[in-house]
């Protein structure tokens, strides 16, 4: 099924675009002293994960309290919500300056803000929002965010294709996806910033990749994905609005966050390295879109390539799929960590020798 692309247009759209040599416009990504990634929404919440360490902090059963008349005292402790979506709070520290941005917002209007409240995260401290792409399971929580704080002039960074009307073309049961409304977001007060090219945020310490060069032979996109071009449904396998967030932790390497990784995890890491000139992958966190029969054939080359990068931490989440999770855990046992809503990953610079 993965090899059945159908038309010549689909085949052409799935052809990798070569990107030889160094980047034409290299990015001067400022190194940071620390980045903390807090997963606000993921497909899984496991309160029994007990691998807390200096680098990893887990949320447990007692993340919050809810009214419940069947218990003495009228309340019970609750954990966090999990759903088919992704959202992460990214906290970056350079010297004495700490800044925060939101990378994706989950599927439902309230899951991200409910989890944030239970984790003690104040939405008013977020200084920008970045959408990895326009799919509804990454943009649904924008409504909840707007309901919890004034978003007037809050930067919202996305690719212009994020507004596209899209569907999944499964013969006999085509499924149109919810489409983000630019008018609605502008009406809420978001400062919408559309960029196809790379962007630097937070004083040059956070890179948003923009469109990712497709350089592998096996990461061919989403073959059943289509977009409305104004007159008809056309193949849209590459989902060009897919972009990643990149931070350079001083002395450690790149930390790369993906929403779904539609551009391909290997393409994304290569692109980040090429843009920044930094050849070391310190951590990869987020969805890798390797779940299901369409993508299982590319798990082996993906795992092989990621193993060659030798990251110190890899947290595949959201749409990665259990087959890929097991393969990555086996190939990278010292780096792989099970993702879960509410988990905090602290990645710090190497100590300066005395």
Taking only the tens place, the pLDDT of each residue in 112-165 is 999 999 999 998 899 999 999 999 999 999 999 999 888 889 999 999 999 999
Instruction: Evaluate whether residue 15 is within a structural domain.
Output: no
- Could you tell me if 40 and 112 are in contact, meaning their C-beta atoms sit under 8 angstroms apart? yes
Question: Which pLDDT tens digit goes with each residue over 207-246?
Answer: 999 999 999 999 999 999 999 999 999 999 999 999 999 9
- Is residue 3 in some structural domain? no
For residue 99, give the H/E element and its range.
strand 97-103
Please report the pLDDT score of residue 22 as a whole number. Answer: 52
Paired tokens of 34? 């620390």
Q: pLDDT above 70 covers what percent of the chain? A: 92
Where in the sequence is the domain holding 269, given as residue range(s)? 27-49+77-348
Share of the chain above pLDDT 90, in %: 84
Q: Residue 166 domain-assigned?
A: yes
CA atoms of 3 and 80, how far apart (whole Å): 39
Residue 155 lies in a domain: yes
**311, part of any domain:** yes
Average pLDDT of the chain is 92
Give domain status of residue 171, yes or no. yes
Whole-angstrom Cα distance, residue 96 to residue 255?
20
2 in a domain, yes or no?
Answer: no
What pLDDT is stored for residue 66 in this prediction? 87
pLDDT of 20 reads: 52
Which pLDDT score is estimated for 259? 98
DSSP state of 116: H
Residue 25's pLDDT is 62
Lowest mean pLDDT among 59-68, 176-185, 310-319: 59-68
Contacts of 284 (CB under 8 A, 6+ apart): 256, 258, 265, 269, 306, 309, 311, 313, 314, 315, 316
> How many folded domains does the chain comprise?
1
Using CA atoms, how far apart are residues 82 and 40, in angstroms rounded to an integer?
Answer: 9
Per the model's pLDDT, the better-predicted residue between 67 and 2 turns out to be 67
- For position 217, which CATH number holds? 3.60.15.10
pTM as predicted: 0.91
pLDDT digits (tens, 9 = 90+) for 76-102: 999 999 999 999 999 999 999 999 999
| Strand 253-258 with 245-249, pairing | antiparallel
Is 310 a domain residue? yes
Lowest average pLDDT, out of 73-77, 135-139, 283-287, goes to 73-77
Residue 216, helix vs strand vs coil = coil
Q: Please, are residues 348 and 249 in contact by the beta-carbon 8 Å criterion?
A: yes
């Amino acid at each position: 099924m993965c090899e059945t692309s159908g038309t010549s247009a689909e085949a052409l759209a799935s052809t990798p675009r070569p990107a030889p040599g160094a980047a034409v416009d290299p990015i001067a990504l400022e190194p940071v002293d620390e980045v903390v990634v807090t997963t606000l929404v993921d497909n899984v919440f496991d309160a029994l994960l007990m691998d807390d360490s200096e680098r990893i902090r887990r949320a447990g059963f007692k993340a919050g309290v809810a009214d419940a008349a069947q218990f003495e005292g009228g309340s019970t402790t609750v954990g966090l919500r999990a759903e088919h979506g992704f959202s992460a709070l990214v906290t970056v520290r350079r010297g004495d300056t700490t800044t925060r941005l939101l990378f994706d917002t989950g599927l439902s209007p309230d899951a991200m803000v409910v989890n944030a409240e239970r984790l003690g995260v104040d939405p008013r401290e977020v200084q920008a929002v970045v959408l990895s792409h326009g799919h509804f399971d990454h943009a649904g929580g924008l409504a909840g965010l707007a309901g919890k704080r004034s978003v007037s002039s809050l930067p919202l960074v996305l690719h212009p294709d994020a507004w596209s009307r899209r569907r999944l073309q499964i013969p006999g049961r085509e499924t149109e996806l919810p489409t983000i409304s630019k008018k609605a977001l502008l009406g809420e007060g978001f400062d919408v910033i559309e960029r196809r090219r790379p962007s630097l945020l937070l004083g040059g310490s956070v890179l948003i990749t923009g469109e990712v060069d497709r350089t592998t032979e096996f990461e061919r996109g989403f073959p059943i994905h289509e977009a409305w071009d104004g007159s008809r449904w056309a193949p849209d396998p590459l989902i060009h609005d897919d972009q990643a967030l990149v931070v350079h932790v001083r002395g450690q390497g790149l930390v790369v966050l993906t929403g779904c990784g539609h551009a391909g995890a290997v393409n994304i890491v290569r692109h980040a390295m090429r843009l920044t000139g930094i050849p070391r992958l310190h951590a990869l966190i987020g969805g890798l879109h390797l779940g299901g029969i369409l993508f299982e054939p590319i798990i082996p080359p993906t795992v092989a390539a990621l193993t060659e990068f030798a990251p110190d931490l890899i947290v595949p989440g959201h749409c990665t799929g259990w087959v890929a999770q097991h393969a990555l855990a086996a190939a990278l046992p010292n780096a792989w960590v099970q993702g879960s809503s509410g988990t905090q990953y602290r990645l710090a610079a190497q100590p300066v020798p005395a």
